[in-house]
């Protein structure tokens, strides 16, 4: 488990995260959402130990990520938005780097690369942006890491590759792993992420499972506009509307609409999900 308590971080005099407290549980794929500049990438780099909290603390299974202990480093992997095009064949890169992760499985790397229709023998600095990103995703999943941090992993992927990515995440991650995916491409991932975290400026608006969200909000895909809707978007032949779920009705959560609702009603959403 990852425990975040009163976490704060600033760039100079500009605060990015302020008094963030939340838990990230095992066996979950978290979707980390937020506008540009709210600190999603900063939070990921703090979680994996590349930055040091200026206030507060992060504990991953009781360890401070910034201590960079071999025991914790061997159980986590971070994919930044922009990955390095190293002048090595993909398979050579994986064999050499995989030695640092006790759970690395080279056969799994090969299998994922094949599912991505990626060339094992191609040098990474000769790959397209999408091919390069798929190579790093394949390697990350092959490490067997308990903690995976991914910053915009579907950027640069074409439509078939995005489907392959969702399949690979579900197929190749251990049941007790914790995955945190920062993304703007909500529709690419909404069928696999649960829970959802929405960051606001220096704050957490929401950290809730899909079940909790559907208990408190109702997503109406009807033909009639409903008074009291927190968010409404026209669809062909009707509307997508988000309302407080006062009657305990069941509905399919639309994460993009959820984000827009939270953005428009920050205080209400925070009160609703932090009682």
Largest CA distance in the chain: 60
Say whether pLDDT at 126 is over 80: yes
- The proportion of the chain whose per-residue pLDDT surpasses 90, expressed as a percent, equals 81
Q: pLDDT tens for residues 178-204?
A: 999 998 888 888 889 999 999 987 788
Mean pLDDT (the chain) is 93
- Give the pLDDT score at 169: 94
Domains and CATH numbers, the chain: 2-206 (3.40.50.300), 209-273 (no CATH)
- Give the pLDDT score at 235: 87
Band the pLDDT of 37: cuts 50, 70, 90: confident
- The proportion of the chain whose per-residue pLDDT surpasses 70, expressed as a percent, equals 100
- Give the pLDDT score at 190: 83
Distances in Å between the alpha carbon of 101 and those of 75, 104, 126?
7, 5, 26
Band the pLDDT of 275: cuts 50, 70, 90: low
Task: Determine the number of helices (DSSP H) and then strands (DSSP E) in the chain.
Answer: 10, 12
Distance CA 232, CA 269 (A): 16
Average the pLDDT over 61-72 and give the result: 96
Pull the structure tokens for residue 232: 């409404």
Q: pLDDT tens for residues 197-252?
A: 999 877 888 999 999 999 999 999 988 888 889 999 998 888 999 999 998 999 99
Which pairs count as long-range contacts for 61-70, CB under 8 Å and 24+ apart, including other chains?
A: 61/1
- Give the pLDDT score at 191: 87
Average the pLDDT over 84-93 and give the result: 96
Q: pLDDT tens for residues 139-158?
A: 999 999 999 999 999 998 99
The DSSP element (H or E) to which 132 belongs, if any, is: helix 129-142
- Give the pLDDT score at 202: 73
Q: pLDDT tens for residues 4-21?
A: 999 999 999 888 998 899
Write the DSSP string, 189-231: HTTT-BSEEEEETTEEEEEE-HHHHHHHEEEE--SS--TT-SE
- Give the pLDDT score at 111: 97
How far is C-alpha 59 from the chain's CA centre? 19
């Amino acid at each position: 488990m990852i425990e975040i308590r009163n976490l704060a971080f600033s760039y100079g005099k500009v605060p990015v995260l302020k008094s963030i407290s939340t838990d990230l549980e095992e066996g979950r794929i978290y979707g980390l959402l937020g506008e540009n500049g709210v600190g999603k990438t900063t939070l990921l780099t703090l979680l994996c130990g590349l930055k040091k909290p200026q206030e507060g603390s992060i504990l991953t299974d009781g360890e401070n990520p910034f201590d960079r202990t071999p025991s914790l480093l061997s159980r986590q992997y971070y994919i930044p938005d922009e990955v390095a095009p190293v002048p090595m064949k993909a398979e050579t890169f994986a064999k050499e780097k995989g030695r640092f992760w006790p759970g690395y499985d080279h056969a799994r790397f090969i299998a994922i690369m094949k599912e991505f229709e990626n060339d094992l023998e191609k040098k990474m600095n000769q790959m397209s942006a999408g091919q390069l990103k798929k190579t790093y995703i394949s390697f990350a999943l092959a490490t067997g890491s308990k903690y995976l941090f991914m910053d915009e992993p579907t950027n640069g992927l074409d439509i078939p590759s995005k489907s392959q990515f969702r399949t690979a995440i579900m197929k190749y991650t251990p049941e007790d792993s914790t995955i945190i995916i920062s993304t703007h491409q909500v529709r690419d991932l909404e069928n696999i992420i649960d829970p959802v975290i929405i960051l606001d400026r220096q704050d957490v608006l929401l950290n809730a499972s899909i079940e909790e969200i559907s208990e408190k909000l109702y997503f109406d895909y009807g033909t009639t506009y409903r008074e009291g809707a927190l968010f409404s978007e026209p669809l062909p032949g009707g509307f997508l509307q988000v309302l407080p779920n006062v009657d305990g009705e069941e509905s399919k959560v639309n994460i993009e609409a959820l984000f827009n609702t939270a953005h428009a009603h920050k205080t209400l959403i925070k009160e609703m999900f932090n009682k």
